[in-house]
Structure 1
Amino acid sequence: MARTAAVTSTTPRPEADGPPDAATNRSGAVLSRLQLLVTRKLDGLLQGDYAGLLPGPGSEAGESREYRPGDDVRRMDWPVTARTTMPHVRRTVADRELETWLAVDLSASLDFGTGRWLKRDVVIAAAAAITHLTVRGGNRIGAVVGSGGDLPAPRRRRRGAPPAPAGPGRLVRLPARSGRKEAQGMLRAIAGTEIRPGRGDLGALVDMLNRPPRRRGVAVVISDFLAPPAQWARPLRKLRVRHDVLAVEVVDPRELELPDVGVLPVVDPETGELHEVQTADPSLRHRYAAASAAQRAEISAALRSAGAAHLRLRTDRDWLLDMVRFVAAQRHARTRGTTR
């Protein structure tokens, strides 16, 4: 039942159709609009001490201040506490040259959307916003991009034998570089990635950020997280040991509930399985919504257990406003000294 929530509609978005050149031009136009939107809405949020998208502790010692409920006791400043007889915590200043890595999931399940955007568009938009927030002051940003699994090569097999499984997916690494020009080139490469049929491997994508080990920084995973948590939770926990991790979950409203529109043909884009669903049945819609809610709760629990900050973006809402609120809330929490 949990995988039922991942089934998506076969109806294509008109603007996504067309020859490759048209798709490339569309991606370039989208990136140009995104750059203007992000600059107007997000610029200035991270002035002063920062650590990429998530303002907060770094490796350099800063000033001490009096302890407040909710502060991390691991940051207690014991010499000052002993000298003043009042508990104090040591504030830290983030490194000025930050290295940020994006893990961008562009598997087949992202090529869908019934709201204002395709899920793929929201993924690219989130990558553009995070890039703008972090690529400043000599900071470096890189990315690993995963698309759908490769289809099995045709081969002769015994009668009755199951078909060969799809490959683990195509994973591409874009080296971390500094400068806005290099960052724009990285975003164009992400936007131009072809979504391939078959299942992607989110666990392998996240694990690409663990190997080889990198200097401490920020790691951002952008996906719909529809793969079973058992596949990606452990690599994410491993990633959290060295990095500040942000998980950006992209959701479409049709993945949360079904509309009452009669018989609805749906297809799972990762497997190609086609079904006809009678959405007029209220009990079916209720079971679908319950299974989807349970699936999202499992995803949230796995992200929380991994220690990752969780940002959910929807295709039917203003993703930029949600991101502004998230960054502002993170900044407010860090300023007050509370934990995430």
Structure 2
Amino acid sequence: MPLAPDESARAEAVLGRLQLLVTRKLDGLLQGDYAGLLPGPGSEAGESREYRPGDDVRRMDWPVTARTTQPHVRRTVADRELETWLAVDLSASLDFGTARWLKRDLVIAASTAIAHLTVRGGNRIGAVVGTGSGVPEKGGSASWWRRKAATAPDPVAGPVVRLPARPGRKEAQGLLRAIARTRIRPGRADLGELIDMLNRPPRRRGVAVVISDFLAPVEGWARPVRKLAVRHDVLAIEVVDPRELELPDVGVLTLADPETGALHEVQTSDPRLRQRYAEAAGEQRAAIARSLRAAGAAHLRLRTDTDWLLDMVRFVAAQRHARTRGTTR
């Protein structure tokens, strides 16, 4: 089922504003020798320099180390033609927001920024976009699912769409338009399977970007991220809403699980409940960060209540500074 005309017009308007904003703010960030958002190591051998804490020991230059008796690493020149793949999670939990943005809007914004930063110079960009299965799980509210089913897409369309990697700004704009027009489906999405699709078929070394709230169980997606990082430079963009970190004191609050439809009443005026909620949310986010760090992925957290573009600019600047200091993690 295609988007309604008003929803399609809104998606086009939001995408147009985002592209203008990104162009104004991010132009000039890629001046220099790097072709993409992450200054990856490339494959062409360059000069050697002394080892610094945090350098990849796999790039040790043993002949120079032996001659100088000081550990050296071999620099490499970043590949000029870059292939970037996005794993875009648009599961039902992303259709939520209590601040300046919906989480799904932030997903589209991040995709727009990455496309702008990586599509130059003949670079290619593709994506796999995942949403719910369209099948409600047990325990969901019947009336809630009837309302969702009325706006759900054709179930035969499938929960995952692959958009092939192509060069050029026009193709990148078409890819972003397809992401923006994706309708979120009810049911749980398999984030691990979505990430694993970036490994099939095997591709030459490039950049892989995973955009999600990572609320799926860590054990379901941690191994695919580690596997992806063996061959590619991985960037994980975590989308967070402040209400997922702490509850406000607003009395009795009825909450609906966007993926199962289950309803829960919560007494938010209880300070102990709010404290337990904040502690559990903090532990969950810490576990996500640990898993991404252990996988060797760069980690960027974007919040719906802050300036996401400023956060991204700071992240890119920090990555470049870290590369000159010898580490990007």
**Structure 2 length as normaliser, TM-score?**
0.90
One-letter code aligned to 1:288: Y
Counterpart in 2 of 1:279?
268
Q: Tell me the CA shift for residue 215 of structure 1.
A: 1.3
Q: Secondary structure at the match of 1:237?
A: helix
1:64-92 Cα deviation digits (max 9, x unpaired): 22333333332222333344444332111
Residues 47-126 of structure 1: matches in 2 within 5 Å?
47-126=31-110
- Give the C-alpha shift of residue 278 in structure 1: 0.8
Q: Which amino acid aligns with 1:122?
A: L
Deviation at 1:339, TM superposition (A): 4.4
The letter of the residue matching 2:100 is: R
The Cα shift of 1:237 comes to 1.1
> Are 1:207 and 2:196 counterparts?
yes
Q: Please say if residues 56 and 331 of structure 1, whose CA atoms lie closer than 8 Å, have aligned partners that are also in contact.
A: no
- Larger mean CA deviation between 289-298 and 119-128 belongs to 289-298
Which of the numbers 279, 295, 312 marks the counterpart of 1:323? 312
Matched with 1:267 is 256
Quote the residue 1:185 is aligned against. Answer: 174
RMSD over aligned Cα atoms: 1.8
Residues 335 and 235 (structure 1), Cα distance of their counterparts in 2 relative to 1, 3 Å cut = same
* Alignment match, 2:143: none
CA 283–250 in structure 1, closer or farther in 2 if over 3 Å, else same: same
- 8 Å Cα contact 2:92/2:131 also seen in 1: yes
The one-letter amino acid paired with 1:212 is P
- Asked whether the equivalents of residues 86 and 126 of structure 2 are also in contact (C-alpha less than 8 Å), the reply is yes
Residues in 1 aligned to 2:255 and 2:83: alpha-carbon distance in whole angstroms:
41
Amino acid at match of 2:45: A
> Does residue 240 in structure 1 map to residue 197 in structure 2?
no
Aligned residue number for residue 7 of structure 1: none
SS of equivalent residue, structure 1 residue 313: strand
Q: How many residues are matched?
A: 309
- 1:160 alignment partner in structure 2: none
Query: Pick from 243, 246, 253: which aligns with 1:254?
Result: 243
CA shift digits 1:133-183 (9 cap, x unpaired): 100111000000001122269xxxxxxxxxxxx99x600000000000000
Residues in 1 aligned to 2:293 and 2:76: alpha-carbon distance in whole angstroms: 24
SS of residue paired to 1:100: strand
Q: Give, in whole Å, the separation in 1 of the partners of 2:240 and 2:53.
A: 35
Contact kept in structure 2, 1:203 and 1:233, CA below 8 Å: yes
1:30 matched to 2:19? The reply is: no
> Which one-letter code corresponds to 2:79 in the other structure?
D
Residue identity in the other structure for 1:175: P
Structure 1 runs not aligned, ≥5 long: 1-18, 154-165
Deviates more, 1:122-131 or 1:65-74: 65-74
Taking the aligned partners of 1:308 and 1:81, their CA distance within structure 2 comes to 29
Unaligned runs of 5+ in 2: 138-154
Q: Distance in 2 between matches of 1:206 and 1:34?
A: 25
**In 1, Cα distance between the equivalents of 2:218 and 2:327?**
28
Q: Distance in 1 between matches of 2:70 and 2:279?
A: 50
CA distance in structure 2 between the aligned counterparts of 1:69 and 1:171, rounded to whole angstroms:
41
**Deviation at 1:201?**
0.8
Q: Does 1:217 align with 2:206?
A: yes
Q: Distance in 1 between matches of 2:25 and 2:328?
A: 26
* Residue in 1 that maps onto 2:25: 41
